[in-house]
Amino acid sequence: MAIALPDQKRVGMVSLGCPKALVDSERILTRLRADGYAMSPDYAGADVVLVNTCGFLDSAKEESLAAIGEAIAENGRVIVTGCMGEEAETIRARFPQVLAVTGAHQYEAVVEAVHEAAPPSQGPFIDLIPQPDVKLTPRHYSYLKISEGCNHACAFCIIPQLRGKLASRRVDAVLREAEKLVAAGTKELLVISQDTSAYGVDIRHEERMWKDHPVRAHMTDLARELGQLRTPEGQAPWVRLHYVYPYPHVDAVIPLMAEGLLTPYLDIPFQHASPSVLKAMKRPANEAKVLERLKSWREICPDIAVRSSFVVGFPGETEADFQYLLDWLDEAQLDRVGAFRFEPVAGAAANDLPGAVPEEVKEERYARIMAKTEAISAAKLQAKIGRTLAVIIDVVGEPDEDGDIGATGRSQADAPEIDGAVHLREVPGNLQPGDIVQVTIEDADEHDLFGAIAD
């Protein structure tokens, strides 16, 4: 039975942006709960509201400013943190009443600001029993952040300015966190960072002892160890790699997927295929070799799903460059693709490049790349009809008028929030989110699969 403390302070949280920011929000709330704060699900019940902002694109900044404005209007006592916190002057110019502004992953500063704005309760029941970490995702999947920052200098990006250079976590600390998450009910670990392939470079891939043997701080070694984890029921959790740059050593994780130690899925931000655009972006121009490697990966692990994202309308992108990208996509046959129109970001080197692409041309190219990738996706999903796939359940619906229950889940080719879904009909009443079931695929559209639990 929970004991209500009459003077217990409550904190509300608005978390914007990428999964890495969501992990920051979880860590902040975990620290605050350990200090005696309760969490408020709404503005009205909060003594102070935290807004964890995104500052990657101008559109994201506007969304962050709108969220700050809403929090001030609804509550009035607001602390701002996250990537846009680096632009404190811009925030204070628009909202001079904010209580404090801190930057990305500045946990100590955020907690200190909350303590100052709403001093924590120091009742006799605080900290008697250690509380579990706060999770902002469903119980059955968790983001596992392995590093902060990035050593790349991509022309369109300011992440190194916002989050600094690469700073890898100790490999034993990462594995301990992963083990704890799996023991607490996580069935799917989503490995995230700014550059997962570079994990451990900054600490020279140092070794740490784990389970009586040394393990290097290296993506391949970490992936292999994560594949050894087991749930309380003795099952291997899905382990999904995100933000993977296609360095040569990425080839070494494909056999781990073929062995079943890793989920056969790679999230690789290619961004473009035209050599001239990649050069202007200050990214490696090895698009031909990538096609060869994709073919090799599929030979080793036929079920591998590759997702990527591309920028259209980058300064200097010609019609020939864009057509090169479309032709490359025809050959690459990527499973999942996201596309973005280029947006200038304050402080990014790309802003000074010549050859700005008109907005109407960006829109037209965006429509063409989406049509191309949707057609590829539809064909790949059609090919799965008749197969039986493992599906992790995210949502179980309520019975309809006939008593039938539907559910929504994801195959191993689908990451939460960004990829497609598998929609199930007539599931048993005892099905729960987090269950992994075998599903016979009966139909498909451009993005999703439809089916029923296999007999």
Q: Which sequence spans correspond to the domains of the chain?
A: 10-117, 141-382, 388-453
Task: Give the chain's end-to-end CA distance (angstroms, integer).
Answer: 42
From residue 209, alpha-carbon distances to 145, 173, 215, 224, 302 in Å are: 20, 10, 6, 15, 34
pTM: 0.79
Residue 172, pLDDT score: 96
- Residue 264 CA, chain-centre distance (Å), reads 17
Distance CA 327, CA 272 (A): 12
Of residues 333, 317, 347, the one with CA closest to residue 379: 333
- The encoded tokens of residue 130 equal 């250690």
Q: Are 47 and 9 in contact, with CB atoms under 8 Å apart? A: yes
Q: Residue 216's beta-bridge partner residues?
A: 207
Pairing mode, strands 78-82 and 100-101:
parallel
- Annotate 263-297 with DSSP letters as a single string: -SEEE---B---HHHHHHHT----HHHHHHHHHHH
CATH class of 388-453: mainly beta
Q: Are 11 and 50 in contact, with CB atoms under 8 Å apart? A: yes
Q: Could you give phi then psi for residue 67, rounded to 5 degrees?
A: -65, -40
Q: Which CATH architecture has domain 141-382?
A: Alpha-Beta Horseshoe (3.80)
Residue 1, pLDDT score: 39
Residue 6, pLDDT score: 54
1 CB-near residues (< 8 Å, 6+ apart): none
Residue 132, pLDDT score: 57
Distance CA 332, CA 338 (A): 14
Residue 2, pLDDT score: 44
Of residues 141, 210, 133, 142, the one with CA closest to residue 171: 210
- The CATH H-level (homologous superfamily) assignment of domain 10-117 is Methylthiotransferase, N-terminal domain (3.40.50.12160)
Distance CA 158, CA 146 (A): 20
Of residues 454, 387, 392, 388, the one with CA closest to residue 426: 454
* Weakly modelled stretches of the chain, pLDDT under 50: 1-4, 124-130
Residue 159, pLDDT score: 67
